[in-house]
A and B are shown apart, each in its own frame.
Chain A
Amino acid sequence: MVVICVLMLIPFYWVLKTSLTGENIYAYPPAIIPVDPHLFNYVDVWYMIPFPRYLLNSVIVTLMAVCGNLLFNTAAGYALTRDFPAKRWVVLLLLSCMLIPFQATIIPAYLITSWLGVLNTHLGIALPMLSTIICIFIFKASFEAVPRSLIDAARIDGLSEWRVMVRIMLPLSKPAIATNVILNSIWSWNAFMWPLIITRSPEMQTLPLGLARFLSVMENTTGALYAFVVLVLVPGLAIFLMAQKEFIQGLTSGATKG
């Protein structure tokens, strides 16, 4: 087990080491412990490429995706706990949509996005990520767990539909909200293919695109590339380590229900 863990961790270590190493990262044999570690590479990344710009784009897109998901998924999840005609069909539709990988629809999705006129905008990047079916079902399950008597009591007290949702359902569904925020921020943070297709100008590129571009421009001749990698990975890893439980629960509950 220890051996497996070491094997799993080596890539992390190697990149961290390289990002801290000075001029010649190609020296042979490569040093195991960085000689004369310094942070020049990180400073380089910040000033040499439009890193702040990429960061801003990524943050904007991620925020849009998370907000959209919270709004649409809570609404849809709540609607699914209610009784209405054709409910079975809606659920079936959603379940079958879940089996369609987004990558299988990119060509028409691109055409639709261009028809909507949001190519090369933040909205265009975030649009397909604004709602996630797995998360709708997570909310549905969480809302269904709210005791019926509580809702009825609130109704009798004269609370409107809207107030029931905001005052009772949402406060009782904090774990579902957390799962939603975490999953969606990580997914949209890491998204690569869709932004690659949708963006035209460098000003709109998100971090993964910037990373790929940096790689193609510089090849891998500088330690700055690896400093870039580390900088990009840190937020995702931080979110994951802080909220590991919700993340794993969300993934497994979503996965087993599929």
Chain B
Amino acid sequence: MTDTRPDWYRRKRTREIATVVCFLLPALVLFFLYRILPLGWNLWLSFQAWSPLKPAQFIGLENYQEMLLDDDVFWQALGNTLIFIGCSPLAIAAALGIALLVNSDLKGAAIYRTIVFLSYPLMTVAVGIIWRWLYDERGGFINYVLRQAGFITEPLKFLQSFDMALPSVIVADFWQVLGFYMIILLTGLQSIPQHLYEAARVDGVPARARFLWITLPLLRPSIFLCLVVGILNSFTAFDLVYVMTNGGPGHATELLITLIYKAGFGQTRFDYAAALTVVQFLLLVVLTWVANRAAGGNAGSREG
């Protein structure tokens, strides 16, 4: 089939497409270099024996074999990461409570919203230092309050204790992301049509049932989003863990991402770190899928 459109049209069209390509190219090159290429390379690297100054060698699944069979630290880090992610529904539930309060006819709701959200745009490194200080056994606020209230007589070493270090880090993380969850849920709450509530009220549906049967189902997309943020958070928590405990004591607060950093840039074992990254990425994909199912099908595609 020949193009019957006039010549000038085709020339114009070519020029238009050239413009589009020029405009898109920088961003696409950037994403290719820093998202797509690394992802593929990462997978490839994980099947190799790599060390600086030596040609890489294909070794198949040896890195994975070492990880799954011989590396206790890997299992601990995986467990910690799962605990870390598993706790995020608690934060989401708390955020939902706050969002409901802010959304009701409360005086000064905007101020409360600002205050709760205030910790989110903070530098995570600084958040880590702040919380280290709060947990401090001598000058820390938490120990001070607990001692004053008479719960304990000796100061607790939160971040040095094997049992308390991970929960302590998780609490600090909650403090930072709570505001973000709240904002997402608040946006979701505000998009629920008011007339549904009015209709329910006219029909005499009690408040608890209204919450269960109107608010929660319609909030599903927002809750799903919060879950995804919580899962991604296990990646971004690197800054916090690095500053607060650096994975210690022992490996009590080691997450996969800190382990990746240590293997890659501490021991220059890029191949092994790449294999760890593959595992964490798969974990991310699987958990996101599960969260999507839990939130009821294609919840993520609310706005397309």
User: Interface residues, chain A, CB within 8 Å of chain B?
Assistant: 1, 4-5, 8-12, 14-15, 18, 25-30, 71-73, 75-76, 78-80, 82, 84-85, 90, 93-94, 97, 99-112, 127-128, 130-131, 133, 136, 161, 186, 189-190, 192-193, 196-197, 207-208, 211-212, 215, 220, 225-226, 229, 232-233, 236-237, 239-241, 244, 247-248, 251-252, 255-258
Contacts and interface: CB of A to CB of B under 8 A. Distances in A.
B121 A240 contact: yes
Given A212-B125, A236-B121, A82 B20 contact: yes
B232 to A, nearest CB: 6
Given A103-B238, A105-B39, A255 B34 contact: no
B183 A251 contact: yes
Interface residues of B, number: 88
A123 B31 CA distance: 16
Interface stretch (B81-89, B112-120, B194-202): B112-120
B148 interface: yes
B175 A11 contact: yes
Contacts of B184: 252, 255-256
B23 A109 contact: no
B42 A256 contact: no
18 contacts: A1-B101, A4-B98, A11-B175, A18-B133, A18-B139, A28-B144, A30-B144, A75-B22, A75-B23, A76-B23, A100-B36, A110-B264, A131-B31, A192-B239, A197-B261, A211-B125, A225-B129, A239-B121
A17 to B, nearest CB: 9
B284 A104 contact: yes
Given A84-B20, A104-B280, A108-B41, A244 B34 contact: no
Contacts of B102: 1
Contacts of A28: 138-139, 144
Contacts, number: 248
B115 A220 contact: no
B162 interface: no
Contacts of A1: 98, 101-102, 106, 112
B interface, by DSSP: helix, strand, loop or mixed? helix
Nearest to B236: A103
User: Which 7 residue pairs across A and B have the least CB separation, nearest first?
Assistant: A105-B38, A108-B38, A79-B23, A108-B41, A76-B27, A75-B23, A190-B123
B217 to A, nearest CB: 17
A211 B65 CA distance: 38
Given A30-B144, A75-B24, A76-B27, A215 B37 contact: no
B129 to A, nearest CB: 5
Contacts of A29: 144, 147-148
Nearest to B16: A82
B126 A229 contact: yes
Interface of B: 16-17, 19-24, 26-28, 30-31, 33-39, 41-42, 45, 98, 101-102, 106, 112, 114-119, 121-126, 129-134, 136, 138-139, 141, 144, 147-148, 175, 178-180, 183-184, 187, 221, 225, 228-229, 232, 235-236, 238-239, 242-243, 257, 260-261, 264-265, 270, 273-274, 277, 280-281, 284, 288, 300, 302-304
Given A30-B139, A192-B238, 18 more contacts: A1-B106, A5-B115, A5-B116, A11-B131, A18-B139, A30-B141, A76-B24, A76-B27, A101-B235, A107-B38, A108-B39, A110-B265, A190-B121, A193-B239, A207-B123, A208-B123, A208-B239, A215-B129
Given A85-B17, A107-B45, A107-B277, A248 B183 contact: yes
A207 B303 CA distance: 37
Contacts of B131: 11
Contact of B303 (A75, A248, A256): A256
Contact of B34 (A11, A76, A82, A112): A112
Given A30-B144, A161-B19, A252-B184, A105 B35 contact: yes
Contact of A108 (B30, B37, B183): B37
A79 B18 CA distance: 10
Given A107-B274, A197-B265, A4 B116 contact: yes
Given A29-B144, A79-B24, A192-B239, A256 B225 contact: yes
B34 A127 contact: yes
